Amino acid sequence: NAGVTQTPKFRVLKTGQSMTLLCAQDMNHEYMYWYRQDPGMGLRLIHYSVGEGTTAKGEVPDGYNVSRLKKQNFLLGLESAAPSQTSVYFCASSYPFDSRQETQYFGPGTRLLVL
């Protein structure tokens, strides 16, 4: 199993450009998440999905959109990139044991620099 993979690993954008980050998991997990991590900070939840075709907002959703057309993929889109979106983006997936227990598995991250 590859686990959780992210594409691309690194990207440089100019302000106003758009891009899509791809997250893929091969563990048949129901839940998927997108986080961002700024230098010296913990992770912050952007958007998440509890199943194919569903998405919901997290702590910091502004400026991002997501889609979950297939169970194994979760896409994060930046329609018009801003320097404030320079960050490391992590994707995670999980299959909750129950409503209280859940183990998330994280991808290796995508480093995004917006000039």
Partner 1 sequence: DAKTTQPPSMDCAEGRAANLPCNHSTISGNEYVYWYRQIHSQGPQYIIHGLKNNETNEMASLIITEDRKSSTLILPHATLRDTAVYYCIVRVAGKLIFGQGTTLQVKP
Binding site for partner 1 (CB under 8 A): 4, 35, 40-45, 48, 58, 88, 90, 92, 99-109
Nearest to 90 by CA among 31, 41, 27, 23: 23
Nearer to partner 1, 33 or 85 (CB): 33
Residue number with CB closer to partner 1 (58 or 63): 58
Question: Which 8-state DSSP code applies to residue 53?
Answer: T
Cα gap 37→55, rounded to integer Å: 20
Shortest Cβ distance from residue 108 to partner 1 (Å)?
A: 5
Least Cβ distance, residue 77 to partner 1 (angstroms): 20
* For partner 1, the closer CB: 44 or 71: 44
We find the least distance from the C-beta atom of residue 58 to partner 1, in angstroms, to be: 7
List the beta bridge partners of residue 82.
none
Minimal CA–CA distance to 45: which of 103, 3, 91? 91
